[in-house]
Chains A and B, each alone.
Chain A
């Protein structure tokens, strides 16, 4: 039983180890959801306390940067999903290509984000910068919140890109261990994507009507 010999000592067989790895990732994702849950709760509280000011502050956001990034992340998630399918279907070359494309899209996302930060800085919306100017205190709070939250999300994107690259490097080899690893990395990437799907209306669309 070659499969059995590869399982770690605490598992009876390799299948059980794969299940444990998948469950471990799901539990970790649950904890990540609670982490971002705190962020969304704070956003909700701020919006309920200051409905008009929240919308006014959100209207300064770069809607097109946010929209482009939403499209970029959604596309990358599609590619990662395809990679999972192709790994399972025995086409590791295509899987690896999809993963590399997703890595490229992830980097593009960070690039767009950086450009947006730069424009914010030029407009004096970067708190603490020498040229910072805000029309109301709440606008400053919103801006602080925006930088903290998108910064936290960008950290998750960075971690996700590293994981995707690792998965792509191992995607060439074809056996179940990598299928499971890629599956777990894909779950993480989808969650990072889902966080953005919620951040997009919270930050960008909230002020789009103004």
Chain B
């Protein structure tokens, strides 16, 4: 056994007929596959579909907000539009986005394994997701709900209109898909690493997925039991959240945010993993402070469990509890900041190639810093009381969830697209859409910080005249964002037909996934990789020049 398998000296050519894409062409070979790469593709197709639904809802919201009178939608229609937008985006796009597509595809490749530990469980998790998705689609067809994505009681249990129980069940079921994915990742990372792939050699993408899997497994069941109680409350009136029987509506908020704040880290941790890969590959430089970045992921996962109370500063929580939650919420910014500093330091004096993936990654850093700093403001009691439930909060979490996670998702898609499909996309169009996304995003959401600070409450579609200019800016930005999302859809799909064939390592990047052919064979590697070097061992002994791409 030599180190040959991890060297990039040898260019692994795709041997005709061995690619996972050619392992079968029938529908059955896709729907009953246990290949993690094919399941990742199944997930990619499904979440793109849900993203489209959620985006249409967002478009309706932004169109309606162009005029202060809310001419497009009725009050009820507006409530339903933002509820569908939130529920679909959070549970049917963002949470599965990076882990279930890129993570599912890349984790076994990155650690030198042939598949995940439990391939059948992986397929089951997709089917559970689809069952949940069918419930969610039923909700859309049945006219939606007006609960918002947070399902607050007693609104959800007693007053809300629409298919509330179906919505709650959809989210409940999707949770099991998440738990199974997390379980699979944890066991895979523990037990399937290639010889020589020690914990200190794991790519940071894998570290952040390990951290996110812990949240998947420990937070999601709390949401499950909470939603079960909400559904039981709505159908049978069991009363745990009903004050008239002696229950406590605030208990719902505690349970919900115990899941849903860590869920924010579910959305952003995989994105951080992506950015670590994109930055090192773009700068052709070893990551600055490997262990700090790795442990920062774990620290975020752990502290993230202890900050939920900052959603409840104005819910009548005791001052002592609020102070503790405020402190912890500020503390969780420390590991996030460590990551940002280390990424920036990695770029310093790097051999930087401003390709589309790196543009997305740098966009992530900028937008994440803006979202993170406003998050610090919101963690402080006095400021939060002022801007609670305003557009300031809306802008803050969109900077994290869209500016951060969605940007990273697109960066990941561009970076690994040649590996996943074996085709190169049009790099110029890639750069244009990356820039468009960053500009469009800021145009959409920066005005919302100003609106919120001026007092524009969230979830209202009729607003005072003086807010109109900023609202129109925001809607114009949303139009740009739509173009920035549709462009990759077009040229990425086009590359499948007409793109040039991708070499094994188009970016000159380290990492085991680049040592196998593009696309990889069915069992990932033709021979068992043996790892003899640390991660991000730049510059490569024989770097693939960027002219390859």
Q: Say which one of B20-28, B48-56, B213-221, B339-347 lies at the interface with A.
A: B213-221
User: How far, in angstroms, from A145 to B225 measured CA to CA in the complex?
Assistant: 13
Chain B residues positioned under 8 Å from A27 (CB to CB): 182-183, 186-187, 217
- How near does chain A come to B124, taking the closest CB pair, in angstroms? 13
Given contacts A9-B523, A141-B239, contact A45 B248 (CB under 8 A): yes
- How near does chain B come to A152, taking the closest CB pair, in angstroms? 8
A128 part of interface (Cβ distance < 8 Å): yes
Chain B residues positioned under 8 Å from A162 (CB to CB): none
- How near does chain A come to B230, taking the closest CB pair, in angstroms? 12
Q: Which of B225, B245, B528 contacts A141 (CB 8 A)?
A: B245
In the bound complex, do residue A9 and residue B221 qualify as a contact, i.e. CB atoms below 8 Å apart?
Answer: no
- Which B residue sits closest to A41, measured CB to CB? B255
Chain A: interface secondary structure?
helix
Q: Say which one of B114-122, B443-451, B485-493, B495-503 lies at the interface with A.
A: B114-122
In the bound complex, do residue A46 and residue B246 qualify as a contact, i.e. CB atoms below 8 Å apart?
Answer: yes
A131 part of interface (Cβ distance < 8 Å): no
Which A residues between 100 and 151 are near B, CB-CB below 8 angstroms?
Answer: 127-128, 137-138, 140-141, 144-145, 148
In the bound complex, do residue A10 and residue B248 qualify as a contact, i.e. CB atoms below 8 Å apart?
Answer: no
- Which A residue sits closest to B238, measured CB to CB? A144
- How near does chain B come to A136, taking the closest CB pair, in angstroms? 8
Chain A residues positioned under 8 Å from B119 (CB to CB): 8, 10
In the bound complex, do residue B117 and residue A20 qualify as a contact, i.e. CB atoms below 8 Å apart?
Answer: yes
Chain B residues positioned under 8 Å from A194 (CB to CB): none
User: How far, in angstroms, from A18 to B373 measured CA to CA in the complex?
Assistant: 46
Which B residues between 241 and 274 are near A, CB-CB below 8 angstroms?
Answer: 242, 244-248, 251, 254-255
B229 part of interface (Cβ distance < 8 Å): yes
In the bound complex, do residue A11 and residue B240 qualify as a contact, i.e. CB atoms below 8 Å apart?
Answer: no
In the bound complex, do residue B113 and residue A141 qualify as a contact, i.e. CB atoms below 8 Å apart?
Answer: no
Q: Which of A20, A31, A140, A141 contacts B220 (CB 8 A)?
A: A31
Chain A residues positioned under 8 Å from B113 (CB to CB): 10
Q: Which of B182, B217, B222, B248 contacts A38 (CB 8 A)?
A: B222
Chain B residues positioned under 8 Å from A144 (CB to CB): 236-240, 245
Please tell me the number of chain B residues within 8 Å of chain A, measured between CB atoms.
Answer: 45
User: How far, in angstroms, from A87 to B117 measured CA to CA in the complex?
Assistant: 25
In the bound complex, do residue A46 and residue B192 qualify as a contact, i.e. CB atoms below 8 Å apart?
Answer: no
Chain B: interface secondary structure?
helix
Given contacts A11-B192, A138-B245, A145-B238, contact A38 B187 (CB under 8 A): no
Complex interface bits, A25-53 against B, C-beta within 8 A gives 1, otherwise 0: 00110111011111101100110011001
Which A residues between 136 and 187 are near B, CB-CB below 8 angstroms?
Answer: 137-138, 140-141, 144-145, 148, 152
Chain A residues positioned under 8 Å from B238 (CB to CB): 127, 141, 144-145, 148
B283 part of interface (Cβ distance < 8 Å): no
User: How far, in angstroms, from A16 to B193 measured CA to CA in the complex?
Assistant: 11
In the bound complex, do residue B191 and residue A19 qualify as a contact, i.e. CB atoms below 8 Å apart?
Answer: yes
In the bound complex, do residue A34 and residue B523 qualify as a contact, i.e. CB atoms below 8 Å apart?
Answer: no
In the bound complex, do residue A138 and residue B183 qualify as a contact, i.e. CB atoms below 8 Å apart?
Answer: no
User: How far, in angstroms, from A38 to B238 measured CA to CA in the complex?
Assistant: 16
Given contacts A38-B225, A42-B240, A141-B239, contact A10 B251 (CB under 8 A): no
Q: Which of A49, A137, A140 contacts B248 (CB 8 A)?
A: A49
- Which B residue sits closest to A54, measured CB to CB? B246
User: How far, in angstroms, from A97 to B80 measured CA to CA in the complex?
Assistant: 57
In the bound complex, do residue A35 and residue B221 qualify as a contact, i.e. CB atoms below 8 Å apart?
Answer: yes
User: How far, in angstroms, from A10 to B190 measured CA to CA in the complex?
Assistant: 13
A23 part of interface (Cβ distance < 8 Å): yes
- Which A residue sits closest to B120, measured CB to CB? A8
- Which B residue sits closest to A53, measured CB to CB? B246
In the bound complex, do residue A137 and residue B244 qualify as a contact, i.e. CB atoms below 8 Å apart?
Answer: yes
Chain A residues positioned under 8 Å from B191 (CB to CB): 11, 16, 19-20, 23
- How near does chain A come to B278, taking the closest CB pair, in angstroms? 27
Chain A residues positioned under 8 Å from B184 (CB to CB): 24
B169 part of interface (Cβ distance < 8 Å): no
Q: Which of A31, A127, A145 contacts B179 (CB 8 A)?
A: A31
Given contacts A16-B191, A24-B187, contact A137 B118 (CB under 8 A): no
In the bound complex, do residue A137 and residue B246 qualify as a contact, i.e. CB atoms below 8 Å apart?
Answer: yes
Chain A residues positioned under 8 Å from B182 (CB to CB): 27, 31
B232 part of interface (Cβ distance < 8 Å): yes
User: How far, in angstroms, from A13 to B236 measured CA to CA in the complex?
Assistant: 51
- How near does chain B come to A19, taking the closest CB pair, in angstroms? 6
Chain A residues positioned under 8 Å from B248 (CB to CB): 45-46, 49
Chain B residues positioned under 8 Å from A31 (CB to CB): 179, 182-183, 217-218, 220-221
- Which A residue sits closest to B219, measured CB to CB? A34
Given contacts A32-B221, A42-B240, A49-B248, contact A10 B232 (CB under 8 A): no
- Which B residue sits closest to A10, measured CB to CB? B115
Chain B residues positioned under 8 Å from A140 (CB to CB): 239, 245
B296 part of interface (Cβ distance < 8 Å): no
- Which A residue sits closest to B216, measured CB to CB? A31
- Which B residue sits closest to A140, measured CB to CB? B245
- How near does chain B come to A121, taking the closest CB pair, in angstroms? 15
- Which A residue sits closest to B179, measured CB to CB? A31
Chain B residues positioned under 8 Å from A148 (CB to CB): 229, 232, 238
- Which B residue sits closest to A142, measured CB to CB? B246
- Which B residue sits closest to A32, measured CB to CB? B221
Chain B residues positioned under 8 Å from A19 (CB to CB): 191
In the bound complex, do residue B255 and residue A38 qualify as a contact, i.e. CB atoms below 8 Å apart?
Answer: yes
B226 part of interface (Cβ distance < 8 Å): yes
Contacts A27-B187, A144-B238 known; list 17 others, CB within 8 Å.
A10-B116, A11-B192, A20-B117, A20-B192, A23-B186, A24-B118, A27-B183, A28-B183, A31-B220, A31-B221, A32-B221, A35-B225, A38-B229, A140-B239, A141-B239, A141-B245, A148-B229
Q: Identify the 10 closest CB pairs spanning chains A and B, nearest first.
A: A38-B225, A35-B221, A144-B238, A10-B115, A138-B246, A141-B245, A141-B239, A34-B221, A20-B191, A10-B114
A sample of 22 cross-chain residue pairs with beta-carbon separation below 8 angstroms, ordered by A number, consists of: A9-B115, A9-B523, A10-B113, A10-B114, A11-B192, A20-B117, A20-B118, A20-B192, A24-B117, A27-B186, A28-B183, A34-B217, A35-B224, A41-B251, A46-B240, A46-B247, A46-B248, A138-B245, A138-B246, A141-B238, A145-B238, A152-B228
